[in-house]
Structure 1
Amino acid sequence: MPDVLTIGEAMVSLRSSRALRLGGDVHLSVAGSESNVAIGLARLGHKVAWLGAVGNDEPGHLIQRTLRAENVDTRYLRFTDDSFTGFIAFDQPAHDITRVSYHRRGSAGSTLTPAECVTALTASTPRILHVTGITPALSTTAREATLAAVQTASKAGIQVSLDVNYRARLWPRPEAATALRALLPYVTTIFASDDELDILTDAPNPTAALLSTATEVVVTAGSKGAWTHTASGTTHHPALPVTVVDSIGAGDAFVSGYLSATLDNLPTEARLTRATTSGAFCVGAHGDWESLPTRQDLTLLTHTHGTALR
């Protein structure tokens, strides 16, 4: 049985070191917030499963093969002949700017159903269910599936983790607010950037309002670090001083580190330490998940910059 079940969309990713309109070589991989978290947790030694739909096409089989290679359980992956596997493209129009383009409308990932989510949760009974605000933005059925999943998990006593992960290209903020606020009564841990809290609540003290139902609210603020708010108080952890090569996937890396430490029953400070460390590994190289650490890697960033380990 998995420690964690993640539910969401996975896509094929194409990366170019220059503007895509100029052509040239691209790097082929896979991407997706929930699958990124799954890979991060698996690398840290946890049993994790990913649930989602992909097209019965070569990109879909690439996603399955990649997740399996990263020790992610894919028994709940569904192939469909009726929809295609979506893709995401990253290019660099300037040396330190990453631009994202999507081809996902109507993709297999948007066909997620409540029934398959409930069935998977009932069969797997994980310790934690992890969802994001991306999935309910994909389609009406995906929104219903996300709600059914968190309701089922909460009723079964499974911890529920929600990462807001707001995407303006998918839906406007008012629509996101309506959908995500419906999930809150069932959520244990909330992850949000400091500019996403207003999506979840209109209260003047948003973290206090969210703690009326959630156990903890984790707020990230880039180079300023992260805060965990609980009924016992607030804990802050600074971001690690690393050279940022690519910020894509940093939030997912942070979440995987935090949930890993949660599974290990570590205190709040240690959870934030592992989360910020995982995020630092991610931003130090290109790719959504390729540079995520193993458990043995976690202490590497404590060495002086430029150290050669012999």
Structure 2
Amino acid sequence: MSKRVVTFGEIMLRLAPEGYYRLVQADKLGATYGGGEANVAVSLANYGFDAAFVTRLPQHELGQAAVNSLRKYGVDTSQIVRGGERIGIYYLEKGASQRPSKVIYDRTGSALYSALKEEFDWEKILEGAEWFHFTGITPALNDEVAAICLEACKTAKKMGVKISCDLNYRNKLWSKEKAGQVMGELCRYVDVCIANEEDAADVFGIHAADTDVITGSVNREGYKEVASQLARQFGFEKVAITLRESISANDNNWSAMLFDGTDYYFSRKYAMHIVDRVGGGDSFGGGLIAALLEGYDSEKAIEFAVAASCLKHSIEGDFNLVSKEEVLKLAGGDASGRVQR
């Protein structure tokens, strides 16, 4: 029987112009669905895990379309609470060359935003689960949703369920001070912390020496210190940090580091030409959770997670629609992109 993973967060309607059109010039928008923890659940379902996504969605057709977008890939939606009036929306304008991508959120008052703690029975939701995952985007919505996250973490800890969190700081949702305060409490329950180059600095004021994300320079030694500081402060078993070197909106170098409490493991670096970078961090989280549940050692786990997220950057939409075999092939060294016949 496949291992059960539960993720909790908001799935949103994504509206985006075709290709590289700007929002001001677009006369039609494509509609898809996505969101941090939903993206992780889809990744895990594609790798063969029993992945459940928990949220709150309206009863109307847009809410149902969001549910259907997950069911399509085998995600368990049976624990989704139905209620509220609207689904959160985000508008995406894809960047190109030196023009960055832009996101506009329209999520205030969404079904999850207006959720109440008593609507979620975490003992029932987490029954049979081996892993629980959330991101820093979810408690950023408001204090009640942060309290729901805290209740989930406390219940998971009590039930012996491993907990992972992607810090995922979003400055459009809350201040650094508020993020540090709320995430500081939640992180006391977390076993595996996932962050990017900037998250630890934004949320907890832990900076990597000699690194500048604007110029794309990443100092490995600096991130060793960031990971060990995070582990010391919160007692994390493992800390993973994705390392993105942005050459332009289209071209990035991509790698990551995993600290397992004893040693530091750096993955190989991929030079990526990007089709769609939204969900790149979530695909890394999904890959890392899968690798750790499969019992991979630290080196193989970080290579699997980075290969999975590298492939995601070649796929339109939020979801990482790749198989375990495709990830293992890339992680094993076949990065040629040659046609498979």
How high is the TM-score relative to the length of structure 2?
A: 0.84
Kindly provide the CA deviation profile for residues 179-208 of structure 1, in whole angstroms up to 9, marking residues without a partner as x.
Answer: 000012110000011211134545684422
Corresponding residue for residue 284 of structure 2: 254
Q: Which letter does structure 2 place at the counterpart of 1:86?
A: G
Q: Secondary structure at the match of 1:194?
A: coil
Query: When you count helix as a share of all residues, which structure comes out higher?
Result: 1
Could you tell me how far apart the structure 1 residues matched to 2:124 and 2:136 are?
19
- 1:116-135 aligned within 5 A: 116-119=119-122, 124-135=127-138
- Which of 301, 304, 309 aligns to 1:274? It is 304
- Report the counterpart of residue 327 of structure 2 in structure 1: 298
Counterpart among 90, 98, 102 of residue 88 in structure 1: 90
Gaps (5+ residues) in structure 2? Answer: 208-224, 245-252
RMSD, aligned α-carbons? 2.1
**CA separation of 1:306 and 1:281: change in aligned 2, threshold 3 A:** closer
Distance of 2:116 and 2:317 partners within structure 1: 29
Distance of 2:263 and 2:88 partners within structure 1: 42
Q: After the TM superposition, which residues 146-161 of structure 1 pair with which residues of structure 2 at under 5 Å, given as runs? A: 146-161=149-164
Change (3 A) 1:129 1:112: farther
Residue in structure 2 matched with residue 139 of structure 1 by the alignment: 142
Structure 2 CA distance for aligned equivalents of residues 119 and 46 of structure 1: 20
| Rounded Cα–Cα distance in structure 2 between residues aligned with 1:240 and 1:191 | 19
Quick one: which of 207, 211, 233 aligns to 2:231?
A: 211
Asked whether the 8 Å contact 2:3–2:50 carries over to 1, the reply is yes
The answer on whether the counterparts of 2:200 and 2:206 sit within 8 Å (CA) in structure 1 is no
Could you tell me which runs of 5 or more consecutive residues in structure 1 were left unpaired when the two chains were aligned. none
Question: How many angstroms does 1:123 deviate by?
Answer: 5.0
- Following superposition, the deviation at residue 306 of structure 1 comes to 4.6
Read off the aligned partner of 1:64 and give its amino acid letter. Answer: V
Describe how 1:31-42 pairs up with structure 2 within 5 A: 31-42=34-45
Is the deviation greater in 204-213 or in 56-65?
Answer: 204-213
Which among 77, 102, 113 is matched to residue 110 of structure 1?
113
The residue identity in structure 2 corresponding to 1:14 is: L
Find the aligned partners of 2:328 and 2:263 in 1 and give their Cα distance.
Answer: 28
Q: Is the 8 A contact 1:166 1:196 kept in 2?
A: yes
* 120 and 88 in structure 1: CA distance in 2 versus 1, 3 angstrom threshold: farther
2: distance between equivalents of 1:123 and 1:6? Answer: 10
Give 1:24's aligned residue: 27
SS at match of 1:24: coil
Cα gap change, 1:186 to 1:121, in 2 (>3 Å) = farther
Aligned twin of 1:175? 178
Distance 1:115 1:97, change over 3 A: same
Query: Would you say how many aligned residue pairs link Structure 1 and Structure 2?
Result: 308
1:122–1:288 Cα change, 3 Å: closer
